[in-house]
Structure 1
Amino acid sequence: MPLGGYGAVGGGIIAAVTLGSGIAVQPWARRLTRRSPAAPFGTGMASVIAGLLTAALTVATGSLLLLLVTTVVLGSAYGLLLVSGLQLAESLAGPQNISTVIAVFYSLTYVGFVFPVLVQVLGKLWDPAAVLVAGSALAVAALATTLIAWPARRAAQIGSYARESSRRNVAAGPASRTTSPSRPTHPKRSPISSPSPSVR
C-alpha cells in the first residue's frame, strides 16, 4: 500500500481508521437488522466487494486518497458483518449453548486477519491488484449463494416453528379440556313462554 515515508505510523493510522469505521457503523447496522435480518449482511458484503476493488485500484495507482477511501469502506464492512453474524448466531443458538456458539463465531471471525498476510504472499506470485480482484470475485460468489439460500432457510425456520406450535397445541388440547372447569348451562328463556305478570 502507498504509505510513502510514513512507515509504521501510517500503518497505525490506517488500522485505527479501519477499526473506528467498523465501530461507528454498528448502530446503523442494528437499525438495518430491525428492518430486515439480511440487510446488514447484504450491505456488508457489498462493502467488501467495493472495498477490495478500491484496494486493487489503490495498489495500481498508488493514491493515498484511494487508500483512505478503501480503509473506511472495508472498516464499515467489518462492522456490518460483525453485527449481522452475531444476530444470526444468536438466532441459531438455543439458550443452553448461545455462549458456545458466539465464542466459535468470534474464533472464526478473527481468522480473517490472515487475509492481508495471504494477499501479501500471493502478491509475490501474481500481481497484487489481480489478487484483490480475485478476492472480490469470491465475495460476489459468497453474497450470491447466501442470498439464494437465505429465503429457503427462513421458510424452513418458519415451518419448524409452525410444526412445533402445532405439536404443542395437540399435546395441550386434551389436558386443557379436562382441566378447564365446566360451566353450567342455562336454557335460554323465550320471552313468549315466560309467564306474564298478573294485572290487577
Structure 2
Amino acid sequence: MTTATDRRHLWIVLTVLFTVGWATNHFVAMMPVLHDRNGISDAALEAAFGIYAVGLLPGLLTGGGISDRVGRKPIVLPGAAGAAFGNLLMLVWHTEPGVLVGRFAVGLGVGLAVSAGTAWCADLGGKRGTVFAGAVLTSGFAAGPLASGLIAQFTDSVAVLAPFTVTVVMSLLAVAAGLTVPNVRRTVTHDDHLVDSGTVRSLARALWTGIPMSLWVFSAITLSIVTMAGRMTAFSGPWVPGVAAVLSLGSGVVTQVIARRSMWGPRAGIGGALLVAAGLITMAVAGSDPSPLQFIVASVLLGSGYGLCLREGLLDVETYAPAAKRGLAIGVFYVGTYLGFGLPLVLRGLAPSFGIVAPMIVLALMAVASAAIRGVQLRTGVLDGR
C-alpha cells in the first residue's frame, strides 16, 4: 500500500468485511429472541447455526481461487450482498424453514466474501492489510451480536424485525461503497515465490503452518457464545450471547493488537492454542451450570486464543502462499476455521453418550497437540521468514 488512494480503498474493503462479520454473527443474539417470540426450538436454532457452516464451504473453497484469476471485487461484493439477502430472508420469513434457508444463504455469501476479501486487503496493504482484515472481521463478529441484542432488548414490539433491518441496510450500504473500488489485482513477479529470507513459498507450506491454527479460531468463539452462554442459568435473554460475543471477540481483538505492537512473532500461535485449551478446561470444570465468573473467564480465555490463532494463521498464509494462489490458500484456511461453527451441534449429539465434560477434555488435548505441532515447526525452521 503506497498511495492515499490505496489506503482509502483498503478502508472501504475493510468496511465491507466489518459488515460481513456483523451480518454473520448478529444471529447469535437473535437465537433467544426467535425462540421466545416465534417458538423456534433450540435444536433448530443450533441446526441453523451449523447449516451456515455448510453454506460456507462452497464459497470458501471456490471464491478465493476464482478471485485469484478474475480479481477480488467480482467475488467479494456479490458475497456481501448474498449475506445481506440471507438476513433479508430471515427478516420476512422468520419460521424454522425460513431461518434455515436464510442462514444457509448467509453462509454462501460470507464464504465468498471472507476469503476473497482478506486476499483483497492483502493485495492493497500486504501483511498490514491481512492483519487488519482479521481484526476488522473480528470486530464485526463482536459488534453484531451486541448491537442486535441491545436493539432486540429495547424494541419490544419489533424485537425480531429491527435487528435484521439494521443488518440488511448496513450491509447494502457497504456493498454500494465497495462499488467505487476498482478491480485491480497485484502483479505477480518472480519475487512472489520467495519470502523475505529467500525461502520458497508454496501452497503446501502455507496450509501446513496455517491449518493447525485455523481449527481453534471459530471453535473457540462458538463454544463461548453458543455453548457456554446456553448453559447459563443465572441470567437469560438476548444480551447473554451478546455479552459472550463481546468478551470473547473483544479479547481476540485486544490480543491481536498486543501481538502486533509487541512483535510476538509466530510463537504467539503456541500461546493461542494453549489459551484455547485453558478455556476448554474451564468449561469442563464449570459443567452444565457455570457461574458468572466461570463464564467470564472461559470467554476471555477462548477469545484470546481465538485472536492469536486467527492472526498467526492468516500471517502464515500471507507469508508462505504464492501471490497467484493467495485467495485459494486463504479460502482453505477459512474452511478450517469455520468447521468450528458446527461444534455446538456435534457436542449436543455427543452429550447423551459421553456427557459434557469428556468432550471438553478431548478438545483441550487436541488444542495442546496443535501447540506442540507449532513448536516443532518453529524448531525445524518451517516458520522461518515470519
Relative to the length of structure 1, the TM-score reads 0.68
Deviation string, structure 1 residues 148-199 (Cα, Å, up to 9, x no partner): 23322438x68xxxxxxxxxxxxxxxxxxxxxxxxxxxxxxxxxxxxxxxxx
Residue number in structure 2 paired with 1:108: 336
Q: CA deviation at 1:142?
A: 2.2
1:79 paired residue number: 307
8 Å Cα contact 1:23/1:79 also seen in 2: yes
Partner of 1:121: 349
Amino acid across the alignment from 1:95: A
**2:270 matches 1:42:** yes
Q: 1:144 aligns with which of 372, 381, 384?
A: 372
Equivalent pair of 2:248/2:300 in contact (CA under 8 Å): yes
Length, aligned pairs only: 155
Which residue is equivalent to 1:62? Answer: 290
Paired position in structure 2 for 1:97: 325
| 1:29–1:123 CA distance, 2 compared to 1 (3 A) | farther
Q: Which residue identity is paired with 1:135?
A: L
Aligned counterpart in structure 1 of residue 246 of structure 2, from 16, 23, 27: 16
Segments of structure 1 that go 5 or more residues without pairing to the other structure are 159-200
Deviates more, 1:83-92 or 1:16-25: 16-25
Query: Secondary structure of 2:232's partner?
Result: coil
- Given that 2:273 and 2:371 are in contact with CA atoms closer than 8 Å, whether structure 1 keeps it comes out as yes
Question: CA separation of 1:52/1:88 partners in 2, compared to 1, >3 Å: closer, same or farther?
Answer: same
Aligned to 2:256: 26
Deviates more, 1:40-49 or 1:13-22: 13-22
Name the structure where helix makes up a greater proportion of residues. 2
Q: Could you report, residue by residue, the CA deviation over 1:53-103 in whole angstroms, capped at 9, with x for unpaired residues? A: 011112166312111110111011111100000111112111222222122
Given that 1:3 and 1:11 are in contact with CA atoms closer than 8 Å, whether structure 2 keeps it comes out as no
2:357 is paired with a residue of what secondary structure?
helix
Query: Aligned-pair RMSD on alpha carbons?
Result: 2.2
- Equivalent AA in structure 1 for residue 232 of structure 2: P
SS at match of 1:96: helix
Offset at residue 128 of structure 1 (A)? 0.5
Q: Distance in 1 between matches of 2:305 and 2:264?
A: 18
Using the alignment, how far apart are the partners of 1:5 and 1:96 within structure 2?
A: 50
Question: Is the contact made by 2:283 and 2:360 (CA closer than 8 Å) also made in structure 1?
Answer: yes
Q: Which residue pairs with 2:236 in the alignment?
A: 6
Map 1:178-189; keep pairs closer than 5 Å.
Answer: none
> What secondary structure sits across from 1:125 in the alignment?
helix
Amino acid across the alignment from 1:11: P
Greater alpha carbon shift after TM alignment, 2-11 vs 112-121 = 2-11
Greater Rg over alpha carbons, structure:
1
CA contact (8 A) 2:233 2:289 kept: no
Query: Structure 1, residues 92-127: CA drift from partner, whole Å, max 9, x if none?
Result: 111222222122222321221222222222122212
Q: Would the alpha carbon gap of residues 3 and 19 (structure 1) be closer, same or farther in structure 2, given more than 3 Å must change?
A: farther
User: TM-score normalised to the size of structure 2?
Assistant: 0.37
How far has the Cα of 1:26 moved from its partner?
1.1
Instruction: Kindly indicate whether residue 347 of structure 2 is the aligned counterpart of residue 133 of structure 1.
Output: no
Gaps of 5+ in 2: 1-230
Q: CA deviation at 1:7?
A: 4.1
From 307, 316, 340, the equivalent of 1:88 is 316
